[in-house]
Structures are given as structure tokens and as C-alpha cells.
Amino acid sequence: MSLPTVSDHALIRYLERVKGFDVEAVRRHIAEICKGVKIARCVRAEQADFIIADGVVVTVKPHGAINRRKVPRGRGDE
């Protein structure tokens, strides 16, 4: 029997409603970190990169994480 896929919505609601995690407090915290940024850019804080586009924080990744889409291919490094 295969496992079902868990949507992001279900995951967040589980953390919030079952585990008691204050998702809105985290949302406010991230907004404070990125306050005032409107154009597409990266804010580095708390060992993370917050990626902002059109005034919306669209993703967060660990600071220094490799963006595999920007790594040159075919250079014989393998």
C-alpha cells in the first residue's frame, strides 16, 4: 500500500492545530526580518536567505545553499 501525498496546507494545519505551533507568529517574524523590501532580492538573516519578489517572501533556504539550477554543467567536475 502506497503512502498518500501530504499537501503543504495539511502540513501547516497539522503543525498549527495539532502540535500547537503558532504559524502566524512565524509569519510575522519573517515579515519583520524582510520589512521594507519590495523588489526581487534576497535578505540574509538568522543563517537563512529570504527570497522576496514583488513584496512577497516566496521562499526561505539555508544561507549558502547551492542553487543547483545555477551550477555550470559539463565541466568535468564529477
- The full 3-state SS of 16-69, as one line of letters, equals HHHCCCCHHHHHHHHHHHCCCCCCCEEEEECCEEEEEECCEEEEEEECCCCCHH
Q: Is 0.75 surpassed by the pTM of this model?
A: no
Number of other residues whose CB lies within 10 A of the CB of residue 15: 14
Cell of 74: 559539463
pLDDT digits (tens, 9 = 90+) for 10-54: 999 999 999 999 999 999 999 999 988 777 688 888 999 999 888
| In the chain, where the domains are located | 8-66
- Residue pair 42/34 in contact (Cβ under 8 Å)? The answer is no
